[in-house]
Structure 1
Amino acid sequence: MKTYDGAVKNGRNIVSGLGDCKYRKTREGGRNPVNPRARDGCDTPCVGHARRVAMFLRGIVALLLAGLFSSGSLAATPSLLGELFSPGAEGHTLAETDSGPAGPGGHLTITVDISTQEMTVENDWGTVYTWDVSTGRSGHATPTGRFRPIRIHEIWYSSKYENAPMPWSIFFHGGYAIHGTTDIKHLGHVASHGCVRLDPRNAKVLYDLVKQVGMQNTTVMLIRS
């Protein structure tokens, strides 16, 4: 560790320098400090003595701090604030409530507002996420009503639309599903063939939540506000 080695070298130099200060007798019988290493060879007053002592103390502190950091006892941990404000997935993302996401035995409500093209995810304690979605465009309306997931798949391929990939699929009504999409730029606008599209990262979060609480404890609501 470069900083540690430098601190050790500096500390050793300071310790060796403390012996530079000597004294000479004065006519009055007193003793004045002198510096025998002065460049002009004269016995000039050792005015740097106090400064060297201060440097020595700073060197000791540097050695102690370097030892602590090199030993890992003060190793940095991931910053909670850094994680909180780091760039997230596309769309709006709300922090989880203090009670955390719904655990086993809890309930999950997924509400898709077709009018605003937004999804709200709620657990027993309140709203945990709000994301942009894409629902069915003209001629491919997304059904409205109250549903429950009927099957989930980490990856599914559409048999109707050229084997298009549907990652993190949550089927809730026949062939209609909530799933991830590569067409992220259209999120927030109608664009699908009837399914509810999400950013793939958000789709995985939702998929994991549904697996955690169970399909029987999950409600899917599709509304027009």
Structure 2
Amino acid sequence: MVSSLLEVPAAMAYGEYRWQDVLHSSPGGSGAVMVRVDLDRQIISVFRGGEEIGTAVILHGVDEYPTPRGSFPVIAMMRDHVSATYDSAPMPFTLRLTDDGVSIHGSDVQAGLGTHGCIGIPSEFAKRLFAVIHVGDVVHIV
């Protein structure tokens, strides 16, 4: 069972996020972290101990480079990663999900932009997510 602590009174715009990581049931926050990415709704939700602590509007893969769906454990974390493939693009707070490079990372989330299969999230949100997630935590992409 999951619940939400977040007050999101209206649809968020590109680049917006909400984060509230102090849980009512556990002061200071504890428990397993789970991430759910909804590609159709272009939103990421972060849960800890079954309670939603963060949500943001995302970017995802364009038609030529789709973001894969499925459940992926975080296999590596890189705070200051830059792309070796895409013009040394900065990818702060990278959470690697697949061996071929699909990751969640900080990005300039704007309408009309897409990725080469990664999930781009606002950089400040990425920093907060990076602080609470661990290698092995699972990301569900639907």
TM-score range, shorter chain: 0.7 to 0.9
Conserved? CA contact 2:58–2:109, under 8 Å: no
**What amino acid sits opposite 2:95 in the alignment?**
I
Report the counterpart of residue 104 of structure 2 in structure 1: 178
Q: How does 1:41-56 map to 2 (within 5 A)?
A: none
Secondary structure, counterpart of 1:146 in structure 2: strand
Could you say which structure has the higher strand fraction?
Answer: 2
Secondary structure, counterpart of 2:125 in structure 1: helix
Query: Which whole-Å CA distance do the structure 2 matches of 1:129 and 1:152 have between them?
Result: 19
Query: Which whole-Å CA distance do the structure 1 matches of 2:81 and 2:115 have between them?
Result: 16
Conserved? CA contact 1:102–1:108, under 8 Å: no
1:201 aligns with 2:127: no
TM-score by length of 1: 0.52
In the TM superposition, residue 159 of structure 1 has moved relative to its aligned partner by: 1.3
Conserved? CA contact 1:136–1:190, under 8 Å: no
Query: Which whole-Å CA distance do the structure 1 matches of 2:41 and 2:113 have between them?
Result: 10
Query: Which whole-Å CA distance do the structure 1 matches of 2:47 and 2:113 have between them?
Result: 23
Indicate the structure (1 or 2) with the bigger Cα radius of gyration.
Answer: 1
Could you say which structure has the higher helix fraction?
Answer: 1
Query: Which whole-Å CA distance do the structure 2 matches of 1:100 and 1:118 have between them?
Result: 26
Report the counterpart of residue 77 of structure 1 in structure 2: none
Report the counterpart of residue 42 of structure 1 in structure 2: none
- Listed as ranges, the gaps of 5+ residues in structure 2 are 1-14
Conserved? CA contact 1:155–1:167, under 8 Å: yes
Cα pair distance change 1:163/1:131, threshold 3 Å: same
If asked which structure has higher relative contact order (CA below 8 Å, sep 6+), I would say 2
| Number of positions where the alignment pairs a residue of Structure 1 with one of Structure 2 | 126
Report the counterpart of residue 169 of structure 1 in structure 2: 94
Report the counterpart of residue 14 of structure 1 in structure 2: none
Q: In the alignment, which of 144, 151, 157 is matched to residue 69 of structure 2?
A: 144
In the TM superposition, residue 92 of structure 1 has moved relative to its aligned partner by: 3.3
Conserved? CA contact 1:108–1:123, under 8 Å: yes
TM-score by length of 2: 0.81
In the TM superposition, residue 190 of structure 1 has moved relative to its aligned partner by: 6.0
Two-structure CA RMSD over aligned residues (Å): 1.9
In the TM superposition, residue 184 of structure 1 has moved relative to its aligned partner by: 2.6
Identity %: 25
- Listed as ranges, the gaps of 5+ residues in structure 1 are 1-89
